[in-house]
Amino acid sequence: MISQLSDHWKDADLLFASIKTQLQVLRSALAEVKSWAESVGAEEAYHQLTMDLDSVLSCCRSLASRINDHLLSLPRGSTGQLNKLGKLKLVLGGRNLDDIQKMIERQISTLTLLLTACRR
C-alpha cells in the first residue's frame, strides 16, 4: 500500500499532464463532432442517430467538466506545477479520477462506433 502510494506520488505530475492533455483532445474532438453534426443538417441525419449523438456528447461534456473542475481545484505553485498538497490530493483522489476516466473512455468508444455507423 505504501509503495503504491509512493509510486503514485512520483507520477502525480505525469498523471496531471496526461489528464489535462486528454481533456484538451476530447474538447477538440467534441467541437469537431458538433461542427460535423450541424453541417449534416436535420434532413440528412436520422432522428434517432441525432438523439444518440446528442446524448453521447452531453455525457462527454459532463464527464470532462467534472475532471476539469477537479484539476482546477488542485493547489499549484507559482510555476503552475502541482505543489505538495496538490499532488497529495491528486494521489488520494485517484480512484475517483480513474473511474471518471474509464467512463470517458467508454463514451469515446460509443462515439467512435456511432460515427462509424454514420459514415455507412
pLDDT at 79 over 80: yes
Which pLDDT score, from 0 to 100, does residue 48 have? 67
Q: State how far the Cα of 76 lies from the Cα of 17, in Å rounded to an integer.
A: 13
pLDDT at 72 over 70: yes
Beta strands per DSSP E along 1-120: none
User: pLDDT band for position 56 (50/70/90)?
Assistant: confident
Q: What is the widest separation between alpha-carbon atoms in the chain? A: 58
Percentage of the chain modeled with pLDDT above 90 = 0
Mean pLDDT of 63-79: 84
- The model's pTM is 0.60
Q: Where are the domains of the chain?
A: 2-118
pLDDT at 5 over 70: no
Answer with the residue of higher pLDDT: 103 or 11: 103
Which pLDDT score, from 0 to 100, does residue 19 have? 76
pLDDT at 69 over 80: yes
C-alpha cell read off for 67: 475532471
Mean pLDDT of 4-20: 67
